[in-house]
Every structure is written in structure tokens, then in C-alpha cells.
Chain A
Amino acid sequence: MAARKSAPKKPVKSNTSKEELLNHYREMLLIRRFEEKAGQLYGMGLIGGFCHLYIGQEAVVVGLEAAAKEGDKRLTSYRDHGHMLACGMDPKGVMAELTGREGGYSKGKGGSMHMFSTEKHFYGGHGIVGAQVPIGTGLAFADKYLENGGVTFTYFGDGAANQGQVYESFNMASLWQLPVIYVVENNQYAMGTSLQRSSSTPDIYTRGEAFGIPGEAVDGMDVLAVKEAGLRATEHCRSGNGPYILEMKTYRYRGHSMSDPAKYRTREEVQKIREERDAIEHVRELILQGKHASEDELKAIDKEIKGIVNDAAEFSKNSPEPALEELWTDIYADDTRLGVHA
């Protein structure tokens, strides 16, 4: 049950197929371009409230989705746009939720932090730091109860890793051998507080040891390493061995939210990671080195992705605001019943 640390690696060559590499490239690029567009729309006042961008962390969700099977569940905190796109939710519906429109996944009532898709088994989108961890553990409890073979990817950040309910969940998940993968997206900053200033020990993947949960650290900027780790974790869960912890060493390029001036780190620090560890550049290099595609072919993909994102943005602007009656719907299963003091 010992926690292990897999050596961060940057394979110069890869046995990964052309098709898979191009898929990873396409999906990571979609998230990045989508988030850049969201940032732009926020600046234009079309998106309100809190908006937490995923730029920099794309390899985590794309790699793990490549390890997931149909029927597996996933949920995360409020930095959730990447997870939704990676599990196949429609960019138009996500963007329209960001703009608070009728065409959004929650009909405009949830916003950036609260979106769901029962069809894609995406269980949110949770605004309270750490609250998704017992919820994800409960989804895994349901899977085990129903004996459906499903696994739940429960994502949380290095900040949430200090919430008590995370450890209450670890205990029950291990006690009851629940098929849940705890994915710690360690982007090194809980809002503005670095891991060094918030965590008594540097390695979050070891925090399951007290509960007998194996964990490993993974280079979260390497989509192939992420996928491999994801396959180990899902195999562990599906074999009935209970929970597993994956600590993804990753990095967010943008501020915590749109209103974050990011004074807690230097511009050079961000720049260095962008230049040396960027997940999309990494796959791009693999594709070009392996001669799986030419620069022109990659440019064509870039253009295609840009088109998808522009369409999503257009949709999100043109979709009407929710009808005023929507204020009073979806509170109860049957809203016609008493209960709302209108």
C-alpha cells in the first residue's frame, strides 16, 4: 500500500498511436481555446461572477478521460470547464451557461461553477471547496451498491486537500472499499497561498497512507503519463481494491479567478513553466517528431478548434436569457406543490 512517486518523464519518442496523439492534442487545444474565449467574454461583461480558468492544466482531464470507460463518473470543484469539455459535453451548452443563457447546461441558473450532465455522467461543478469529495465518494458508494462496475473520478485541488471532509471520505472509501479515484490537481496555489505556506508536508499523494490508500505523484503536464497512471488507478478500483490517489503535479497559467492580480508569484515563474512544461506543446512536439502530422495539418486542427469555440461563443451570445418563469422552476421535483413562499 506504499505511496510511490513515478519519475516525471518527457519521452522524446512515444509508442502512442498517431490517432491518440492527435486526439489528445485536439482535446487539450479545445480546452485552452475555449478558456481563452471565456476570459475574453468575461472581459466584455458577457460572463459574470466568478470564473476560474483551467488554462495550463489541460493534460490532467484529457489524460484521465482517455483512461475512463463509458459509465464512469466524474465531478470536480468550480474550476470545471475543462472537465466538462473533456468528458464530451457540448462547448455551446457550457459557454451558454457561462453567459447565463437558456441554452446553458443548467438553463442559466447554475453558472460557471454549477453545471451537470447526467448524459455524460458529469456530477458538477461544486462551489464549496472540498465538498465534492464526499459526494464523489457517495457516487462510488452507489456504484458499488448497484454493482455496475463504475469508477468515479473525484477531482480536487491542493487547497481542498486541507479540508477535513476529504479525510472523512478517505476513511469511509477505504473502510468500504469504494471504487473512487481521488485526483488531486496540485497546481501549487490555493488561490494565492502556495503549497509551501499551506501544507505541513509537500506530497499530497502520501496523505492516504494513514487510511491504507495507495497514491502516486504524476507529472500532470504530461498527458501520456497521466493516462498511464489513470489506467493503473482504474484497474485498481475495478478489481475491487478500493480507492486510489493520483496527485497531478500541474500548474495554472491564469489567476485563481478573473479578478486575481496574481501577485503571489512572479511572471517569470509562469513564463518558465509555459516554456518548459506546457502540455500542449509537449504533444505537439511528439506529433511532429513522430511525423504523425505536418505543421500545416496541425494548423488545420487549430483552425477547426477555433471554429468550434467561435460557434460556442456565438451561441452563448445569441441564446436568450432564461424566461422569467424559470425563477420558480426546478426547486422541487414537482414545482406545482406547495413549498415555495412565492
Chain B
Amino acid sequence: MATEVLMPALSPTMEEGTLAKWLVKEGDEVASGDIIAEIETDKATMEFEAVDEGIIGKILVEEGTEGVKVNTPIAVLIEEGESADDIAAPAAAQADAAAPDTTDAPVEAKAAAQPITPVIPAEADIPEGTEMRSTTVREALRDAMAEEMRADDAVFLMGEEVAEYQGAYKISQGLLDEFGAKRVIDTPITEHGFTGLATGAAMGGLKPIVEFMTFNFAMQAIDHIINTAAKTRYMSGGQMSCPIVFRGANGAAARVAAQHSQDYAAWYAQIPGLHVAMPYSAADAKGLLKSAIRDENPVVFLENELLYGQSFEVPVLDNYTVPFGKARIWREGNDVTIVSFGIGMKYALEAADALAEDGISAEVIDLRTLRPLDYNTVINSVMKTNRCITVEEGWPVASIGNHLSATIMERAFDYLDAPVINLTGKDVPMPYAANLEKLALVTTKEVIDAAKAVTYR
């Protein structure tokens, strides 16, 4: 009986990929375990093995095809004596029926690859007429590191799989080739140790970039981030400096459960002595990371795996930096202020679009950095709209939203026409089951509902 070979999902977050190369042709016999194709995800090129034995009856997707959705039939396997012609319309319809229902999938999983263009024109510090190029967050981060490494020999990158593997999430792709093993350093799996080591190297005159494969693993090393890096300048009466960047994926990815899904924004934002960035767009990822590497202070730089493959317009400028402590207004509005950062921006912007259709004009603010935090932009907006909701992925207790609410109460109490609503992840460890995971995360619908609640619609 003919069986369909489906496009595989090769990582927890993969939605589609490129069928880079077929290693078999129609008529070839294959056994279980034979490599039949090479498939390129946004992270890596992977070999794809046959699961069943049989004969390649028909190749349905030509090599070189990009954007092949997971679970699309890519070939048909037949048995001895069958003919490929016997196959009754392999039909994408069947495959669709077999594929998991993605319409209920978490919103971020449907992340389209097309560039997002802010409704508000590009920032004032980008000269008019600047060429913009569609760039993924992944490429933007790599470009930022490469540019700063070219400019300053003291900058080096250290972490697990950053060099020969080209980055667990492919962020450091190409850096080893350009800068060599002295400056792009694979570490043993030893977070506590290499974080302390890099912190010492920063005190010794270098400018380390430490990549945590994800920030979940930085908990092994948090003593050095806080007790060493953040406090040394103060404890030394200003004599010592610790210019270091701790960066990596933060927050929930997809279906990796409790120990690998946690947003540390509020944790690090609490620490005097640290600077904390959590960019959403590729332009901000690049501009903020360049600022972070030049910063004389220790910086915690929180990225998001689900955003790595997302494309945005990035200005083509030799020296594009984004300052810390300056929020970006993505969308102007009059009825409600939505404040977010990192991947929360995705829900905020989607909600703002939906709200506009209902006649509610939302102002959407991306904090971009959490320490320093641009209180003034938020307060000014709330004074205009008189309503505010905050959106973040982290847990509700002592969240960034809580802190903003307190600040708004202190500085703009008389301007509020409704209580501030803090939308956060739910107060539970992240569950594995798809439906429960979706329930644990903040959603676009929750943002829409909250906006309607504070505008009494």
C-alpha cells in the first residue's frame, strides 16, 4: 500500500522548511533509516530518514522548494508491484485532514515570515530615506555581534555550541569562520563556571558576550550575574568595571514544558547594577545588542526563540544603535495604552489591529529595555488615553506590569478612568500538553478583552 512521506517537524518551533535536496530519485528502493532528503530549517540543515521501507513512487515536492509546511506530503512510498500511477490523487486534502488542527495553535506559532512594518514611521534617529532591509531577528543579532567584534578586539563570544556547531539556535552562524577560535569559544556545559569566568575576564579588561543556550540554564549561574557582575562596581566604590553581555533565548518556546519555558524579565529588571533589554523587532535586537556590547555595565539581553525567525525591516546603516531607556511607540492611539515588550508585543499589536476594527484606538508602547525603563513615555501616554493594560509572558506576582501599575498610580492616579489591567502568563509552571500550554500563555484575545473592559465596551 502506498504511503505518504510527510514534511517533518525537526524542532519544537518549526512550522515550515526548505526541501533542500533529495538524496533519492523515483524508483529507488529505500530501507528504514536511509537518508532520503536534506531539509533546511531556520536553524540548521537536517538529514531526513525514511521510516518505512519501500520504493520511492513519486516525488511530490521538488528539491529547492521553500516554505514547505510541516505535514505536507513530499513523496509517496510504494510497495513492490505497485505503480506510482496507481496512486489516487495524493491530495493535499488528505494531508490537511491528518495534520493537527493548527487553527487553535498558539498565536505565535503562526508567526508569518513576512516583514512587519510598524504603523508609525521609523524612528526619529533613522535618517529619512535610509534603505531598509528585511532581516530576521536571528540575522540581526549575528550582525550586531559581528560588527562589534570587528570594531573592538576585546569583544569575544563564549557559550555552549556557539562556535563549531554555529549556535544551538544558529545565532552565531559564521562567526567562528570570521573571528577564529580565540574569539568564538565553545565552552563545556558548565554555566556556573563559564559565567564566573567571563565575569572575571570582563574585570580583566575584555568585553565578553556570554550566550546562554536559554536563560533557563542561567539559573545555574545567576550568582555571578547578580552577586558578581551587577554589584562589583558599587562594592569597589566605582574602581571596578564589568562590561559584559549575557544573552540568549528567554521565555516560552513551544512544547518544551516547565523547566525550559520561563520569562526572567521581572527577575533581572529588579537588580540595580544591571541593564536589561528585551527586544521585539529585528531592528531593536540589532541596535540594542550593539549598545549592550559597548555598555560599560553588565547587560542581560533577553531574546525569544519564537522571534528568531521573524523578519522585520532593519535600517541599512553602518552604525545603527538603539539607546537603552527609550521606549518605542509602535502605534499611536487615543482610547487605551497597551504596554508590552519582547514577544508580548506580538499580542499587543495583533490586538490593536482587531480593536481598530471595533473602533477602539489603542496606543502600543514597546518598552524595549526594562532597566533603565522609560517611565515617561508610559505616563505621558496614560495621561492621554486614561487607560492602560500591560502585556507580558512572565508570571503575575511581582511582574513588570505590577511595577508599572504602581508607578502609574503614583504619577498619574487622577488621569485613570479605569483600573490598570496586567496581563501575564498564568501562575503555574508551564504544562506540556498543547491545550494547557496555550491556556498558560497570554493571548491576543485576552488583550482585546482587557482593552474592551477598560474602555467599558
Contacts and interface: CB of A to CB of B under 8 A. Distances in A.
Report whether chain A binds chain B.
yes
Interface of A: 73, 104-110, 114-118, 123-128, 131, 133-143, 145-146, 164-165, 168-169, 171-172, 175, 329-334, 337-341
Interface of B: 156, 182, 187-188, 190, 192-206, 223-224, 227-228, 232-241, 272-273, 275, 295-297, 324-325, 371-374
Given A107-B238, A138-B201, A175-B188, A339 B206 contact: no
B233 A171 contact: no
B193 A171 contact: yes
Given A110-B236, A114-B236, A337-B325, A134 B372 contact: no
B94 to A, nearest CB: 53
Interface centre among A107, A140, A172 (most CB of B within 10 A): A172
A131 B239 contact: no
Nearest to B231: A114
Contacts of A331: 233-234, 272-273
Contacts of B201: 138-139, 141-142, 145
**Shortest Cβ-Cβ A-B pairs, 7 listed:** A138-B200, A168-B193, A134-B196, A142-B204, A338-B372, A333-B296, A107-B237
B197 A114 contact: no
Contacts, number: 163
A110 B231 CA distance: 10
A330 B233 contact: yes
Contacts of A118: 239-240
B129 to A, nearest CB: 31
A168 B190 contact: yes
A142 B205 contact: yes
Given A124-B232, A131-B196, A142-B206, A332 B297 contact: yes
Contacts of B197: 134-135, 137-138, 141, 169, 172
26 contacts: A104-B237, A105-B237, A114-B236, A115-B236, A118-B239, A123-B200, A124-B236, A134-B194, A134-B195, A134-B197, A135-B196, A137-B197, A138-B197, A138-B204, A141-B200, A142-B200, A329-B238, A331-B272, A332-B233, A333-B295, A337-B325, A338-B324, A338-B374, A339-B371, A340-B272, A341-B373
A333 B228 CA distance: 16
Nearest to B202: A138
Contacts of B241: 333
Interface centre among A104, A134, A341 (most CB of B within 10 A): A134
A168 B188 CA distance: 9
A137 B202 CA distance: 12
Nearest to B200: A138
A145 B156 contact: yes
A164 to B, nearest CB: 7
Given A109-B234, A164-B192, A337-B325, A116 B240 contact: yes
Nearest to B189: A168
